[in-house]
C-alpha cells in the first residue's frame, strides 16, 4: 500500500446556493466520486487524491500526493494500471484545480434568478435544487464516461468507469484500504486485449466503442479534443477568449465540436452534447435523452403534431426551445431540471392531519340567539422522508400549517 503526503484541510468561501456537492457530484455528470468518510467525497484527479467536505459557507478541500513512484505491476500492463508519478507538493495547484473543476466563475444564484424570470416551470422546480453547477471535466474522461452512459443508469455507469480506472488507470494511493486510480489515458485503452477484457467486465457492446474511440483519439492526439473546447471555458491553465454570440442552434464552435464528436464510435447526438457541455465547456449544449424528452412533453408542450416522437428534428427543436428560454447557459438550467426529476433525489411526502372543532354560542339578545361560530382548526404536518435505498439525502423537512375555517349558524328564536 502506497504512502501519501496529505495536505492540511483548506477552505474556500462558497455558499450552498453557488455549489452543493451532495447534488452536483451525484446527478450524472461525473461517475468517479466516492464517499471516503462521513460527509466526505474523494476522487483521484491530476496526480493526487482530492477530498472534499462542505458546510453552509465553505467548501473544504485537501490533496493527498504520492510520496514516490509506486513499484511497477507484475501482471501484463495491457490489463493492469501503471504507477502514478509523484507530484511536487511545492507546485501544488489544488486551489486552481478546484476552482476550475467546479466552474466557480459564473454567479449561479444570479443565473437561477435569470432562468426563473424567463421560465415559470424553472421557477417552480428549481428552489429545492440550488447549487447544481456544470463541472469542467477533462474532455477525454467525459467522452468515455458518456459512451458508457448509453442505455444505462448512473449506478451502473459509475461501476463501469470504476472498473476502467481500476484495471487501466494509474494508481495514486489509498484512503484506508480503498485504492484510488486516476482516469486511464487513450493509449492505455488501445491494447489488443482491451475490448475482450472489457466484455468480461460487463461493458457489453460499449467495450467495442471504448476501444475503437481510444484508438481514434490516440491517433488524432488529445490536442485535437482540446481544440474543440469552448475558448471561453478552456482547459486548466489556458487563458479564456471570446467565443461569439449565441444564435439558434448554438455558436459555430459548439456546432463544429458536436459534428466532429459524432464521427467517434458510440457517440450519437445525446452523448456528443453531454461531452460538449461537461467536457468541452459549451454551456448552450442541451443533451436530450428520453428523460429530458419526458420533461419536454410534460412541462413544455412537446409530444404533439410534428414533434410527437423524439426524432432528430424534435431533438433539435427541444434544444432550441430551451436555448431560447434560458440563453447561453441553457445546458446548466436543463441540468437543474434533469436533477430535480432524478429518482435519487425524490422524496416521499407523508401528511398527517388533525381536525378539531369548537362551537361558541354568544349571549341572547331579546330572546334571539346570536350567530354561533364553529371554529374548525386543521393542523397538517408534512414530512419529506428520505428514500430507504438512498443513504445521502436532503435533511428531513417538517412543515406545519394551521387552517382555520368558520361556520356560521343561523339565528334561532326560543
List the 364-365 sheet strands across, edge first. Answer: 364-365, 368-369, 412-413
Kindly state whether residue 244 falls inside one of the protein's structural domains.
Answer: no
Which of the following is catalytic: 270, 304, 391, 407? 270
* Under 8 Å between Cβ of 191 and 184: no
Tell me the residue range of the domain where 291 lies: 107-127+285-342
CATH number at residue 334: 1.10.1670.10
- C-alpha–C-alpha distance, residues 223 and 167, integer Å: 25
Confidence (pLDDT) at 366 = 53
Kindly state whether residue 191 falls inside one of the protein's structural domains.
Answer: no
Kindly state whether residue 319 falls inside one of the protein's structural domains.
Answer: yes
State whether residue 372 is helix, strand or coil.
coil
Q: Is the dihedral of CA 106, 112, 117, 120 positive or negative?
A: positive
Which regions of the chain are under pLDDT 70? 1-2, 68-91, 346-414
Number of domains in the chain: 1
- Which residues, other chains included, contact 387 with Cβ-Cβ below 8 Å and sequence gap of 6+? 343, 344, 346, 347, 348, 393
- C-alpha–C-alpha distance, residues 382 and 287, integer Å: 35
Confidence (pLDDT) at 377 = 40
Kindly state whether residue 70 falls inside one of the protein's structural domains.
Answer: no
Confidence (pLDDT) at 2 = 61
Confidence (pLDDT) at 308 = 82
270 is catalytic: yes
Confidence (pLDDT) at 342 = 87
CA distances from 310 to 127, 290, 305 (A): 29, 8, 12
Kindly state whether residue 300 falls inside one of the protein's structural domains.
Answer: yes
CA distances from 45 to 41, 181, 281 (A): 13, 8, 18
| Helix ranges (DSSP H) in 30-107 | 94-101
Question: Residue 12's beta-bridge partner residues?
Answer: 59
Amino acid at each position: 500500500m502506497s504512502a501519501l503526503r496529505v495536505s492540511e484541510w483548506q477552505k474556500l468561501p462558497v455558499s450552498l446556493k453557488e455549489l452543493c456537492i451532495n447534488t452536483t457530484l451525484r446527478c450524472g455528470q461525473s461517475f468517479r466520486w466516492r464517499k471516503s468518510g462521513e460527509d466526505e467525497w474523494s476522487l483521484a484527479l491530476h496526480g493526487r487524491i482530492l477530498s472534499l467536505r462542505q458546510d453552509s459557507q465553505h467548501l473544504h478541500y485537501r490533496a493527498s500526493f504520492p510520496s514516490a513512484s509506486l513499484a511497477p505491476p507484475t501482471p501484463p500492463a495491457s490489463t493492469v494500471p501503471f504507477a502514478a508519478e509523484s507530484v511536487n507538493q511545492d507546485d501544488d495547484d489544488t486551489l486552481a484545480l478546484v476552482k476550475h473543476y467546479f466552474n466557480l466563475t459564473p454567479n449561479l444564484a444570479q443565473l437561477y434568478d435569470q432562468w426563473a424570470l424567463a421560465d415559470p416551470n424553472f421557477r417552480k422546480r428549481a428552489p429545492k435544487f440550488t447549487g447544481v453547477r456544470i463541472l469542467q471535466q477533462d474532455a477525454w474522461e467525459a467522452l468515455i464516461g458518456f459512451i458508457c452512459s448509453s442505455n444505462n443508469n448512473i449506478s451502473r455507469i459509475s461501476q463501469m468507469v470504476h472498473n476502467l480506472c481500476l484495471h487501466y488507470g494509474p494508481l495514486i494511493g489509498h484512503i484506508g484500504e480503498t485504492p484510488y486510480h486516476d482516469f486511464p489515458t487513450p493509449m492505455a485503452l488501445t491494447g489488443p486485449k482491451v475490448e475482450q477484457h472489457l466484455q468480461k467486465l460487463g461493458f457489453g457492446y460499449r467495450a467495442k466503442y471504448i476501444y475503437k474511440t481510444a484508438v481514434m483519439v490516440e491517433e488524432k492526439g488529445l490536442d485535437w479534443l482540446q481544440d474543440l473546447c469552448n475558448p471561453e471555458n478552456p482547459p486548466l491553465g489556458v487563458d479564456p477568449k471570446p467565443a461569439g454570440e449565441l444564435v439558434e442552434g448554438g455558436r459555430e464552435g459548439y456546432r463544429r465540436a458536436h459534428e466532429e464528436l459524432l464521427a467517434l464510435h458510440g457517440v450519437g447526438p445525446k452523448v456528443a452534447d453531454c461531452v460538449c457541455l461537461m467536457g468541452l465547456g459549451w454551456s448552450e449544449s442541451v443533451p436530450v435523452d428520453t428523460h429530458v424528452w419526458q420533461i419536454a412533453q410534460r412541462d413544455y408542450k412537446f409530444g404533439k403534431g410534428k414533434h410527437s416522437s423524439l426524432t432528430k428534428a424534435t431533438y433539435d427543436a427541444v434544444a432550441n426551445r430551451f436555448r431560447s428560454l434560458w440563453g447561453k447557459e441553457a445546458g446548466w438550467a436543463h441540468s437543474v431540471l434533469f436533477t430535480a426529476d432524478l429518482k435519487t433525489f425524490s422524496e416521499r411526502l407523508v401528511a398527517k392531519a388533525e381536525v378539531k372543532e369548537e362551537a361558541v354560542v354568544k349571549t341572547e339578545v331579546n330572546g334571539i340567539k346570536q350567530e354561533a361560530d364553529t371554529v374548525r382548526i386543521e393542523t397538517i404536518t408534512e414530512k419529506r422522508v428520505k428514500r430507504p435505498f438512498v443513504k445521502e439525502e436532503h435533511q428531513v423537512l417538517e412543515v406545519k400549517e394551521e387552517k382555520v375555517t368558520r361556520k356560521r349558524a343561523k339565528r334561532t328564536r326560543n
